[in-house]
Chain A
């Protein structure tokens, strides 16, 4: 059984389709801007914010609608179709005591979904985990199709929280750079469609080969110093895919721009013997979109496969980790076949997924 993936969509300040977003970042444009006085204590903050401040529900519904357009109309109404949603804080701005469920009920009704959507809230790996879950259900024959949508909005709640951890960068974030000082938050949505049938995609699709997750079992808010969980999930995904590390052409890393996270990733990829494989972080373009990040970044990976173009790591100038890895400093035109996507998050969680062109 093969799981196919495609029909990617991104809603960000850079555009409302994956193509628009890819064209913007290809030119080095970022959605991270300076916002005066919006932080706790009226601090000035760099972050990526949508102009019309949509609600979580609006983002989710707009992104799902866009992905649906690429398939046959009746698929979303099928009992064989599951919608999997990825988010961290969802509609916390409107609904702090009973989050998420009201928006999901509304979505189920509006799109006449036959199956109750599955909502994954697993910190910053939620998006990659949501695709892994879709792949697992499809390969097991439980569902044939999955719409996987991730969304998160910027809120005082999350911004103040990261400020309290001293984890917000005083410049636009600089993933893997020597002078990195933290994250820049972002908001938006990302979506993909996955299916056991390649004929239901109206455009070129790819193979979602395998994906797994692993916990560091080390600390709830700091990544493992050895990158243990990330090493394990990548090894597990490669083993299930029956691939060697050398089969990977490109790594779309997590790269938040915090000192500890980026160091952990560099150590993990070095331990994996993957330090010469071109690798990027996209946080410099979109900010850290939390529950949407895995899907937005995977959508860009699919665009890279379509265009044979690897994107440079915006904000990265000088190596800043104890292990040398091959971070992209310019866009690279090259034949790309197989991509590894990774994510790591609070709670010690790590996830990885392998996607490749169809043979």
Chain B
């Protein structure tokens, strides 16, 4: 049996970890919110500021989960699979990149490198020196069955844990649901990895 050992929800100005409000801000914009959130975590990781909104959100969620469940850091560097998903790929940065070369501008290389959704997985891998399995999928809706099935498959194969996330990011929206799946229930939340359970957690906030 595999467990959802810890989870978090991020929305504008708030972050809930395992269902409890842990971070709250009064920012007027999404960009200010991610900046304030980053500052409050005292990370000294200036690369954060170069990331696009999709990567920033996934990065912040991962840092919060690590704090809540430090046991995650004891895994070997290639034992953690990273599985993220959303329904619009890198659309927000895609539009920004397209804008860069329209109306007389020139294509921006620093925007272009973020026009692939799996870049956020790379950012998390670089930050944590995690060399495990990677996969970014695009689905119409949050697909609990996919996460349950594929986590079970990988935890039975060459991973010991999985970092998962579903992100709803666009010009005026920021919502994220991240969770860690492990074989041992470190935080004793008693949340077995099952579709019904996962959907319940996803819709909680």
Contact = CB atoms under 8 A, between A and B. Distances in A.
Interface of A: 40, 88-90, 92, 96-101, 104-105, 116, 118-123, 129, 133, 136-137, 140, 142, 157, 160-165, 212-221, 228-229, 232, 236, 240, 345-349
A118 B112 CA distance: 25
17 contacts: A40-B107, A89-B115, A96-B94, A98-B88, A100-B88, A119-B138, A120-B135, A122-B135, A123-B116, A129-B135, A142-B149, A157-B98, A212-B158, A214-B133, A215-B122, A220-B126, A347-B118
A343 to B, nearest CB: 12
Interface string B137-155: 1111001001001101110
Given A136-B153, A349-B118, A215 B94 contact: no
Of B108, B137, B143, B149, most buried by chain A (CB within 10 Å of CB) is B137
Contacts of B121: 122, 215, 347, 349
B135 A217 contact: no
Contacts of A157: 94, 97-98, 115
Given A119-B137, A214-B133, A161 B112 contact: yes
Interface string B68-99: 00000000011000100001110100110110
B153 A137 contact: yes
Interface residue range, chain B: 35 or more
A191 B145 CA distance: 25
A220 B123 contact: yes
Q: Is the interface of B mostly helix, strand, loop or mixed?
A: mixed
Given A40-B107, A349-B118, A99 B126 contact: no
B125 A348 contact: yes
A217 to B, nearest CB: 4
B21 interface: no
A348 B126 contact: yes
Contacts of A100: 88-89, 138
A136 B150 contact: yes
Given A215-B125, A348-B122, A118 B107 contact: no
Given A101-B87, A347-B122, A348-B125, A215 B152 contact: no
Nearest to A101: B140
A157 B121 CA distance: 22
Given A99-B94, A121-B137, A347-B116, 11 more contacts: A40-B101, A100-B138, A101-B87, A101-B140, A104-B138, A129-B135, A133-B150, A164-B109, A214-B134, A348-B122, A348-B126
B165 interface: no
A97 B116 CA distance: 14
Interface in B31-70: none
Nearest to A100: B138
Interface in B8-25: none
Interface in B136-192: 136-140, 143, 146, 149-150, 152-154, 156-158
B129 interface: yes
B125 A217 contact: yes
Given A96-B94, A164-B109, A217 B126 contact: yes
Contacts of B132: 214-215
A161 B97 contact: yes
B94 A217 contact: no
Given A142-B153, A215-B131, A349-B122, A98 B91 contact: yes
A247 B135 CA distance: 28
Contact of B126 (A89, A212, A213, A219): A219
A121 B129 contact: no
A272 to B, nearest CB: 15
A347 B109 contact: no
